[in-house]
């Protein structure tokens, strides 16, 4: 099955194709960006809005993802608003430092979550979720990765951040786990 990726990032299509290499799924970048207002209250809602908008525009099955960092002890920031956290700080290094400051003295437990929405047609819409649990570190670690990777320490990685365990991340991240669930589903359909 071929899906148009509901994203303006063509490199994300490459990443998904790597993740789906053993599944009957191929992901193509969209020929143009569609502005979708991500005002849903959940990752699920935002993924659905993006997938449906791209399906409606291109008249073709669409794949969208919505993901973010959830810190239960700081429930009013991050989550579905992860990309919009501290908009006055355009650089993620500064956003990460602010997160470290805000979590000081609080429970540092956190998780990354990803929801994939496969919008085949209005009667066939499938969702898959992936999570990776860990905690917020006390400092930035690692040069690889992006976003909140340098401050997130996944469980079982000996205190290393996602920005330090890139190979592990490719098969164990929240996006990888959601993609594995989708691969299993579509391979057995």
What is the mean pLDDT for each group of 10 consecutive residues in the chain (189 residues)? 89 89 93 92 96 98 96 93 89 94 97 97 98 97 88 97 93 94 92
To the nearest 10°, report the CA torsion of 49, 181, 17, 25.
-80
Work out how many domains the chain is built from and give that number.
1
Q: What is the pLDDT, as a whole number, of residue 93? A: 93
Domain of 140? 2-187
Tell me, what's the pLDDT at 145?
Answer: 74
CATH number at residue 31: 3.90.950.10
> Which H or E run contains 47?
helix 43-58
pLDDT score recorded for residue 1 = 93
Indicate the burial class of 120 (C-beta count within 10 angstroms; 0-12, 13-18, 19 or more): middle
C-alpha angle 164/165/171, rounded to 5°?
A: 155
The predicted pLDDT at position 137 comes to 97
pLDDT of residue 153: 98
Catalytic residues: 66
* Amino acid 188: pLDDT: 87
Tell me whether residue 98 is exposed, middle or buried, using C-beta atoms within 10 angstroms of its C-beta: 0 to 12, 13 to 18, 19 or more: middle
């Amino acid at each position: 099955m071929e899906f148009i990726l509901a994203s303006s990032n063509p490199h994300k299509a490459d990443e998904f194709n790597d993740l789906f290499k053993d599944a009957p799924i191929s992901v193509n970048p969209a020929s143009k960006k569609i502005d979708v207002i991500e005002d849903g209250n959940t990752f699920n809602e935002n993924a659905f809005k993006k997938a449906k908008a791209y399906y409606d525009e291109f008249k073709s099955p669409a794949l969208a993802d919505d993901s973010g960092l959830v810190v239960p002890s700081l429930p009013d920031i991050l989550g579905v608003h992860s990309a919009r956290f501290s908009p006055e700080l355009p650089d993620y290094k500064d956003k990460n430092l602010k997160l470290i400051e805000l979590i000081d003295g609080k429970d540092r437990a956190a998780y990354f979550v990803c929801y994939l929405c496969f919008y085949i047609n209005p009667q066939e819409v499938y969702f898959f979720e992936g999570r990776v649990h860990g905690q917020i570190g006390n400092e930035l670690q690692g040069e690889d990765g992006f976003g909140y990777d340098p401050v997130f320490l996944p469980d079982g990685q000996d205190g290393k951040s996602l920005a330090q365990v890139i190979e592990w991340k490719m098969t164990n991240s929240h996006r990888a786990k959601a993609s594995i669930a989708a691969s299993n589903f579509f391979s057995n359909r």
